[in-house]
């Protein structure tokens, strides 16, 4: 599994300095978006493997941006709405696995997976899926 996050040039060096001097709390106020600042989120997931001895792949792609109507950031939409969907799934009694349930377990559950996708779609978050 590979994860890539794009940041601005010099980001990692700055984060190392903040970590070393223990001043991460000083920068939190600067991480807040400025008035009128709009964000976007890009998520591109490629899953490759075999099914029934044949190579296959699934790609999930999201491009989401700041919602002008609700003034909701893309980060809040793509992360917060996902958490809300899972909470609703639990509250509706649709998930009955006992014990510790990391996100990977939720994704294995077809019902939960489809519930979350449907919920995000209702919120205007488009997830494009292609299969080969």
Please count the other Cβ atoms lying within 10 Å of the Cβ belonging to residue 99.
5
Q: What is the dihedral of CA 71, 114, 3, 22, to 10 degrees?
A: 50
Contacts of 39 (CB under 8 A, 6+ apart): 33, 65, 66, 73, 74, 75
Contacts of 130 (CB under 8 A, 6+ apart): 58, 59, 61
pLDDT tens per residue, range 21-32: 776 677 777 777
pLDDT tens per residue, range 57-98: 999 999 999 999 998 999 999 999 999 999 999 999 999 888
Q: Which helix (H) or strand (E) holds 24?
A: helix 24-27
pLDDT band, very low/low/confident/very high, at 4 (cuts 50, 70, 90): low
Q: Token pair of 23, please?
A: 């001043």
Contacts of 127 (CB under 8 A, 6+ apart): 60, 61, 62, 117, 120, 121
Helix 110-122 × helix 81-91 angle, to 10°: 130
Does the pTM of the predicted model rise above 0.75? no
């Amino acid at each position: 599994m590979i994860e890539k996050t794009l940041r601005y040039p010099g980001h990692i060096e700055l984060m190392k300095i903040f970590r070393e001097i223990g001043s991460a709390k000083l920068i939190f106020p600067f991480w807040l978006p400025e008035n009128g600042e709009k964000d976007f989120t890009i998520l591109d997931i490629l899953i490759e493997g075999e099914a029934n001895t044949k190579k296959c792949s699934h790609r999930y792609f999201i491009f989401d941006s700041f919602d002008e109507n609700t003034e909701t950031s893309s980060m809040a939409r793509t992360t917060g709405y996902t958490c809300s969907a899972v909470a609703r799934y639990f509250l509706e009694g649709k998930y009955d696995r006992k014990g510790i349930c990391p996100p990977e377990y939720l994704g294995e559950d077809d019902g939960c997976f489809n519930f979350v996708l449907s919920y995000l779609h209702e919120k205007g978050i488009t997830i494009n899926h292609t299969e080969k």
